[in-house]
């Protein structure tokens, strides 16, 4: 078909009327126009043009510093303010602005020094308030706290401190009070929603968040939180569907709660804590944390899965504006997490002093690689301030204690777990109860372990780590039937090939009078020190439970591997026990052939007497023997 035009390309109707042309004529942009639109990239571009064309002055430099700060380029802003403060007669407020740059760069001593040179002001008090928190100076913090006034800026500053100190309800109260008088402060709904998320009230968080999303449906912050709530309330697919983000210059992610499902990357990672118990070896799988980032970073992994998160982050990276420079390190960090730890050693070490979670995730990486020493060296000087940091230090100390045989490290681990599990804020949460179960596991108080695990087992039915710990605790208190059932729920091949799993499952089989299944576990193992230990367990437990046939088989193999007189004595007793059970009709008569063959594997004068007795009975009872 032929396309028609609405107006001719040339002729009287082809040109725009003069009045319309005048309206559309571009105006020369002004810095104020860009600032009103919060287009700091446009503003700084115009300011730099003015400065480079010779029309700049100190005010121009101050506005450049201001724009750089709001773009997240704190280093550039610091350099501008620092240069301005070196001029004679500089405005005293510049010192406070410079201190703010230092603060956001993590240069807290420099920030403290600079802000002292500025005039007393509400901004100075707020900055000193936050610096006191960073320095953990409670006395100083309370002093600046008393100087806060009932104005919005001061109250928001107080709310942020409450949030940083995990006082989420107090932060919510402040935000709600401000919202009552300032309904147009829609962003506060996101902060309230985030606090509710931290308190595990995901449905409430979702309701509050909806208010903001109605006005800003493309907000990366809000959509990420919405996806997190979907993940908690429904499933990963719902989270994935709910996270289609159109990214502009707003590409700041959320501080997700480090979930005590203790995931690492996109799989379940557990540090093995082993020790020799009075009734065998126990292995406690200490669930690890998948650490989220600070308020300007998001671990999309918690939203749904690593692959989807990686794709989302790549999209974020590609679509973000050039001003999105402040999150580059965060993206690099998250990509490592989303890729299952790939590139950890290349990316995470330089970020240790930039992103706090980089240190924690690198510790987890080392633990996953069984490099406990490196993990300990990285975390030993960290003073824990959050439950997650206490837990990770507990895991590292427990792993090191097992590896080195240090009771001191095991005790420290137990104390860290107890500290978290016994705290008022965590004691009634799933993380807190898991911590207490870990504490009692280390103390080998398995009745107490079961109290805590029973209270949360409905949340972890298909969780291999939980089931492994739960089954061991069940077996440790003698509930072998249920322990066997739980052991068999485990799907992880790594766990199922672990000696502790095999030995406990074998013991459960034997105690449940299924010695043949225990023997089959041994037959599947390759010859090693662990297979020798499993043989000893089978031999002794089967003997104790009167399952003499498999006790005899185990002692027979042990004797051939190690001609220890004790193994002969065990085999002799087990063979006689089988003979007695054959006579009583509790064992098939054909079993007598195997018993005689096992006895003849030993060069001992007692063998002939025992074999002669067995053969005589077989002849009298018409039992054919070779």
Identify the pLDDT of residue 327: 54
Asked if pLDDT for residue 315 goes beyond 60, the answer is no
Per-residue pLDDT tens over the stretch 518-566: 999 999 999 899 999 999 999 999 999 999 999 999 999 999 999 899 9
For the segment 603-610, the average pLDDT, to the nearest whole number, is: 88
- Fold type of domain 31-148: 1.25.40
- Asked whether residue 376 carries a pLDDT value surpassing 60, the answer given is yes
Q: What is the pLDDT of residue 325?
A: 47
**In the block, residue with structure tokens 């509790």:** 586
- pLDDT band, very low/low/confident/very high, at 245 (cuts 50, 70, 90): very low
Report whether pLDDT(291) > 50: no
Q: Which helix (H) or strand (E) holds 101?
A: helix 93-104
Q: Which residues are within 8 A (CB) of 174 and not within 5 positions of it... i.e. 6 or more apart?
A: 155, 156, 158, 159, 162
pTM for the model stands at 0.68
CATH topology of domain 255-444: 1.25.40
CA-to-CA distance for 560 and 601, rounded, in angstroms? 8
Angle subtended at Cα 387 by Cα 469 and Cα 368, rounded to the nearest 5 degrees: 50
Average pLDDT over residues 588-611: 89
Residue 195: per-residue pLDDT: 93
Task: Tell whether the model's pLDDT for residue 439 goes beyond 60.
Answer: yes
Task: Identify the band that residue 23 occupies on the pLDDT scale cut at 50, 70 and 90.
Answer: low
Sign of torsion, CA 151 152 158 159?
positive
Q: Do domains 31-148 and 255-444 have the same CATH topology?
A: yes
More confident: 30 or 330: 30
> How far apart, in whole angstroms, are the C-alpha atoms of residue 126 and residue 395?
37
**What does the angle CA 6 – CA 12 – CA 15 come to, to the nearest 5 degrees?**
70
Task: Give the pLDDT confidence score for residue 465 in this predicted structure.
Answer: 87
Supply the mean pLDDT for the chain: 81
The per-residue pLDDT for range 79-118, each reduced to its tens digit, is 999 999 998 888 899 999 999 999 988 899 999 999 999 9
Nearest to 413 by CA among 429, 425, 396: 396
Is pLDDT at 399 greater than 80 in this prediction? Answer: yes
Domain boundaries, the chain: 31-148, 255-444, 513-626
pLDDT confidence of residue 218: 72
User: Which residue would you say has higher pLDDT here, 339 or 478?
Assistant: 478
Q: What percent of the chain has pLDDT over 90?
A: 53
Structure tokens at 239: 């989270």
**At residue 446, does pLDDT exceed 70?**
yes
pLDDT of residue 307: 52
Cα gap 599→274, rounded to integer Å: 37
Mean pLDDT score, 471-487: 96
């Amino acid at each position: 078909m032929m396309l028609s035009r609405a107006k001719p390309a040339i002729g009287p109707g082809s040109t725009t009327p003069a009045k319309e042309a005048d309206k559309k004529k571009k105006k020369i942009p002004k810095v104020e126009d860009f600032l009103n639109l919060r287009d700091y990239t446009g503003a700084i571009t115009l300011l730099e043009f003015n400065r480079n064309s010779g029309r700049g002055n100190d005010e121009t430099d101050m506005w450049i510093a201001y724009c750089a700060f709001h773009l997240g380029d704190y280093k550039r802003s610091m350099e501008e303010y620092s240069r301005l403060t070196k001029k004679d007669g500089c405005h005293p407020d510049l010192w406070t602005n410079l201190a703010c740059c230092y603060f956001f760069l993590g240069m807290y001593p420099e920030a403290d020094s600079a802000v002292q040179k500025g005039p007393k002001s509400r901004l100075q008090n707020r900055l000193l308030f936050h610096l006191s928190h960073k320095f953990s100076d409670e006395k100083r913090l309370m002093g600046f706290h008393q100087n806060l006034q009932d104005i919005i800026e001061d109250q928001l500053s107080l709310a942020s401190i409450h949030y940083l100190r995990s006082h989420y309800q107090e932060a919510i109260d402040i935000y709600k009070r401000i919202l009552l008088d300032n309904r147009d402060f829609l962003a506060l709904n996101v902060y309230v929603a985030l606090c509710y998320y931290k308190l595990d009230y995901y449905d409430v968080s979702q309701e509050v968040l909806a208010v903001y999303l109605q006005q800003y449906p493309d907000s990366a912050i809000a959509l990420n939180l919405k996806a997190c709530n979907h993940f908690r309330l429904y499933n990963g697919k719902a989270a994935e569907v709910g996270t289609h983000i159109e990214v502009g210059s707003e590409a700041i992610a959320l501080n997700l709660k480090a979930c005590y499902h203790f995931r690492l990357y996109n799989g379940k990672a557990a540090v093995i804590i082993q020790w020799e118990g009075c009734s065998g070896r126990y292995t406690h799988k200490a669930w690890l944390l998948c650490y989220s980032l600070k308020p300007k970073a998001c671990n999309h992994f918690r939203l749904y899965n690593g692959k989807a998160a990686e794709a989302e982050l790549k999209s974020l990276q590609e679509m973000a504006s050039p001003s999105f420079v402040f999150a580059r390190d965060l993206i690099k960090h998250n990509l490592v997490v989303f890729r299952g730890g790939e590139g950890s050693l290349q990316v995470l070490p330089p970020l240790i002093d930039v992103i706090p979670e980089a240190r924690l995730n690198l510790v987890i990486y080392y633990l996953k690689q069984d490099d406990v020493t490196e993990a300990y060296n990285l975390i030993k000087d960290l003073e824990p301030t959050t439950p997650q940091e206490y837990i990770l230090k507990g895991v590292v100390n427990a792993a090191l204690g097992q590896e080195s045989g240090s009771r001191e490290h095991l005790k420290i681990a137990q104390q860290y777990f107890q500290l978290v599990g016994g705290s008022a804020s965590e004691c009634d949460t799933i993380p807190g109860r898991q911590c207490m179960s870990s504490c009692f596991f280390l103390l080998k108080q398995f009745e107490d372990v079961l109290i805590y695990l029973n209270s949360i087992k409905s949340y972890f039915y298909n969780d291999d780590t939980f089931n492994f710990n739960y089954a061991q605790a069940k077996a440790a208190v003698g509930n072998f039937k249920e322990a066997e059932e739980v052991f068999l729920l485990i799907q992880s091949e790594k766990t199922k090939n672990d000696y502790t799993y095999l030995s406990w499952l074998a013991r459960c089989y034997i105690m449940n009078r299924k010695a043949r299944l225990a023997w089959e576990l041994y037959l599947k193992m390759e010859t090693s020190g662990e297979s020798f230990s499993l043989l000893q367990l089978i031999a002794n437990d089967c003997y104790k439970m009167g399952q003499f046939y498999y006790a005899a088989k185990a002692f027979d193999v042990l004797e051939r591997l190690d001609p220890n007189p004790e193994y002969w004595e065990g085999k002799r007793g087990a063979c006689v026990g089988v003979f007695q059970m054959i006579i009583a009709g509790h064992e098939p008569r054909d079993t007598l052939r195997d018993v005689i063959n096992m006895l003849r594997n030993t060069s001992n004068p007692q063998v002939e007497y025992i074999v002669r007795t067995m053969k005589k009975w077989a002849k009298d009872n018409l039992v054919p023997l070779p």
